[in-house]
Amino acid sequence: MAFYRKRGNKWQARITYYDNGIKKEVAKGGFKTKSEAKRYAVDMENKLNNGKRPTNISFPDYFDDWFKTYKESNLATPTIKQYQIVSKLLHRNLNKRIDKITRRDYQRFINKHGKNHSPGTMQKVNSIIRACVNSAIYDRYITQDFTQKVILTANKERTRKVEYMNVNEIMCLIDEIKKHLTPEAPSRFMILTAIYTGMRIGEIGALTWEDIDFKQKTINVNKAWDFLDSRFKSTKTEGSNRTIRVNADLLDCLKKLRANNSQMVFAKTSDGVPPSSVAANATLRLAMKKAGIVKQGFHFHSLRHSHVAFLLYSGVDLYAISKRLGHTDMTTTSKYYAYLIDEYQVKSDEQIERLLDGLKH
C-alpha cells in the first residue's frame, strides 16, 4: 500500500508491504511532482511483490491499516468507536487471509451477527466493511468483492423505536422549563432550543451570538461542538449547514443569556463552555419528572424526534422538514422517521377521504 505526502516543495512516497506476515516499509523522497512519486511507488511495489500484491495479510489487519490511514483522522469520536467495534468483530469472526475470504464466509458472518442485532446496526456494519473491501480491490489485494449480493439478516425485534412527546407533553415540558429559565442554568435554554428547532445537541452547543439573527428570526447552523474535547468541529454532513427560521418566543428567551457575557450562547459562567451532554440530559430528565412526563429511554436527541412529530402532526411538508433537520435529501428523513410518517399516514388518509367526498355533486 502506497502513501504520499508533500515535504516542503518535494513529494515523498512510502510503501508498506508484508514479508512473511511482518509489516515492512520503504520510503523515498525528493520527487518534484506527486505523479513521479506514484510512478516510483508502482515500480517498487512490483519489485517487492513480483508484480503481485502480497496475499499473506489477514482481512482484520488490512481493515485496521485502512482505517488508520484513510478514516481515523476525519471521523468524530463516536464514529471512530463504530469502526473499532467492527475491527473487533472481524478479528473474532473473519480472521483469515484477505484473499481466502469467500462470499459464503461473509454471509455466515452476517447471519451470526445479525441474530442479535437490529437492521440498522447490520446496515452500518455492512456499509463499513464494504468500503474497506472496495479499497482492498483498488489496492489489488483481492480481485472480487465478497460482500456483493450478500443478504443482510437482522433481528427486527432489536429495533429500538425512539419515544417522542405529543403536543400536550411538549407544551407541559416548555412550561416546566420556563419556570426556572435563568442565565445560570444554560441547559434549560438548550432544551428549549431543541424543542423549537429540532437541532442536534452538538449544533446547539456550538451556537455563538453571531449565528443568531434576531431581526430576521433565524439561526445559522454552521458548526458543531465536540463535548469530549471541548472544541468546535464541522457539522455532521455538508447538508447540516443550514439556516433555520425560529419563533419570537425562543429568541426572547435566548436574549436572557447575554447576561453571561460570552461569545458562546450557552456557555456556563464557570468555564465559558456549554454544559456537557450528560448535564443537559440530567436537566431534561428532572424537568420531565416534574412535568409528569414518563418516557422510557427518552434523551436529548429524542427532542429532535418530538420536533419532527409535531411538524408532521401540523401538516408541514416533508421536504421542508428535511431541510430544517439538515438532511441531504428527503430519503434520509423518510428512512429515520418512517415510523412517524406511518403513524400520521392515518390522519392524512382521513383528510384525503374527506376531500374526495367533497367532489360529490
Supply the angle between the helices 277-290 and 167-179 in degrees, to the nearest 10. Answer: 110
Confidence class for position 174, pLDDT limits 50, 70, 90: very high
Residue 19: φ, ψ to 5°:
-125, 105
Amino acid (one-letter) located at 283: T
For the segment 136-140, the average pLDDT, to the nearest whole number, is 84
- Supply the pLDDT for residue 203: 97
Which residues lie closer than 8 Å to 86 by C-beta, 6 or more apart? 63, 125, 128, 129
pLDDT value at 35 more than 70: yes
Nearest to 336 by CA among 352, 312, 315, 359: 312
pLDDT value at 50 more than 60: no
Least confident of 198-202, 249-253, 346-350: 346-350
Residue carrying the nine cell digits 456550538: 206
**For residues 107 and 71, is the Cβ–Cβ distance under 8 A?**
no
C-beta neighbour count of 208 within 10 angstroms: 16
C-beta neighbour count of 351 within 10 angstroms: 11
Q: Which of the two residues, 200 and 21, has the higher pLDDT score? A: 200
Task: Output the pTM of the full model.
Answer: 0.67
Range with the largest mean pLDDT of 1-5, 76-80, 173-177, 233-237: 173-177
Distance CA 68, CA 16 (A): 13
Residue 208 pairs with which residues in a beta bridge? 264
Q: If 0-12 CB within 10 Å is exposed, 13-18 middle and 19+ buried, where does residue 257 land?
A: buried
For the segment 115-125, the average pLDDT, to the nearest whole number, is 91
> Count of alpha carbons within 13 Å of 354, Cβ hemisphere only?
6
pLDDT value at 359 more than 90: no
Residue 351: φ, ψ to 5°:
-65, -40
CA distances from 292 to 94, 195, 234, 298, 315 (A): 49, 17, 37, 14, 27
pLDDT value at 192 more than 90: yes
Q: What is the largest CA-CA distance in the chain?
A: 85
pLDDT value at 53 more than 60: no
pLDDT value at 65 more than 90: yes
> Count of alpha carbons within 13 Å of 235, Cβ hemisphere only?
20
**For residues 152 and 110, is the Cβ–Cβ distance under 8 A?**
yes
Least confident of 108-112, 268-272, 334-338: 334-338
- Supply the pLDDT for residue 21: 56
Percent of the chain with pLDDT over 70: 91
Which residues lie closer than 8 Å to 185 by C-beta, 6 or more apart? 283
* 8-state DSSP, 338: H
**For residues 269 and 257, is the Cβ–Cβ distance under 8 A?**
no
Q: Where are the beta strands (DSSP E) in 21-81?
A: 22-31
Which residues lie closer than 8 Å to 42 by C-beta, 6 or more apart? 2
- Supply the pLDDT for residue 49: 61
Angle in degrees, CA 81, 82, 88, rounded to 5: 90
Confidence class for position 177, pLDDT limits 50, 70, 90: very high
